[in-house]
Chains A and B, each alone.
Chain A
Amino acid sequence: QKEVEQNSGPLSVPEGAIASLNCTYSDRGSQSFFWYRQYSGKSPELIMSIYSNGDKEDGRFTAQLNKASQYVSLLIRDSQPSDSATYLCAVDGSGNTPLVFGKGTRLSVIA
């Protein structure tokens, strides 16, 4: 059974700093990787998807994938208090099966 592991946190960073969120996964055959952000009391929203090794940048967010190490990370530059949320890592299931989600890392950006 596929597993996705994340440090539950909380991860506290000062405003303006870089927040680094990490995720490992168990299935070496996984092909698709996702980061979701979930504010308290709200549903998860997609931040980024990444499918190939290396970095993918979107504004202040950078996703990094290393398939050899089975490791995916999310960097948030110039962190803002509005980035305070739980960040969920997800990895593709096989065929029609759903994504496999980690339990999430809670990020707190201190003003």
Chain B
Amino acid sequence: SQTIHQWPATLVQPVGSPLSLECTVEGTSNPNLYWYRQAAGRGLQLLFYSVGIGQISSEVPQNLSASRPQDRQFILSSKKLLLSDSGFYLCAYKGSPPDTQYFGPGTRLTVL
């Protein structure tokens, strides 16, 4: 069976500090992977998606970046956090049935 992990679970960072969030998937190979952000009380905002190692599509131009150094690893980064980067960050993978996306437990980021 497939499982998805994210860490850390919570993070409090000062404005201007760097960020690295990690997502890993087990039990499947070469999955499509996705990063979403959800601001408090808001819907899901797609940030990045990847269909393979080194292949990243960006949906929203901002101070965030993503990388996929290994088949089942997806990393979200920032060099300098903004207050507006606060939110709930969710990683997801595409599994079965067809087109189905499954979400990780999420990382709650607070930028002060």
Residues of A within 8 A of B (CB): 31-32, 34, 41-46, 49, 51, 88, 90, 92-93, 96-99, 101-104
Residue in contact with A44 in the complex, picked from B32, B42, B103, CB distance below 8 Å: B103
Knowing A43-B106, A96-B51 are in contact, say whether A104-B99 is a contact too (CB < 8 A).
no
Q: Verify A90–B101 contact, CB threshold 8 A.
A: yes
Residue pair B32, A96 in contact (C-beta under 8 Å): yes
Q: How far is the CB of B41 from chain A (nearest CB, A)?
A: 9
Contact check, A103 vs B99: say whether CB atoms are below 8 A apart. no
Check B104–A101 contact: CB distance below 8 A. no
A42, A96, A104: which has the most chain B beta carbons within 10 Å? Answer: A96
Q: Which of A42, A51, A97, A103 has the most CB of B within 10 A?
A: A97
Interface, chain B (partner A; CB < 8 A): 32, 34, 42-44, 46, 49, 51, 90, 92, 97-106, 108
For A102, the closest partner residue in chain B by CB is B43
Find the residue from B32, B34, B92, B99 having the highest chain A CB count within 10 A. B99
